A = this chain, B = another copy of it.
């Protein structure tokens, strides 16, 4: 164990931010543009409404995304990446590159 890591390792925190069956997919979708709940639900095939809600709440708690409610009927809710969330994108791209490189 060397100094940097043992004294304060942030990796578990990072992992928490993206751990969840659909979080990466959600983050990626929102990296393109802000989306409504229903739009996310349609884009992410296979996820249930309740699970989508749970994952969104967790991402919100971790301040990766924001939730904006339009006070109207019928309801309209928009999700978008926070600045913190946006800093994840280049990291995710690197992880993706690593996988592509190491799988060959």
This protein's copies in its complex: 2
A14 at the B interface (CB under 8 A):
yes
Query: Are A43 and B1 interface neighbours, CB within 8 A?
Result: yes
A73 at the B interface (CB under 8 A):
no
Report the minimum CB–CB distance from A91 to chain B (whole Å).
6
With contacts A1-B32, A28-B1 taken as known, whether A10 is within 8 angstroms of B94 at the C-beta atoms is no
Contact of A103 among B10, B18, B24 (CB under 8 A): B10
A8 at the B interface (CB under 8 A):
yes
Query: Are A11 and B95 interface neighbours, CB within 8 A?
Result: yes
Query: Are A99 and B13 interface neighbours, CB within 8 A?
Result: yes
Residues 84-104 of chain A: 1 if any B CB is under 8 Å from the residue's CB, otherwise 0? 100110011111111111110
A residues contacting B by CB (< 8 A) are 1-2, 4-5, 8-15, 18-19, 24, 28-29, 32, 43, 84, 87-88, 91-103
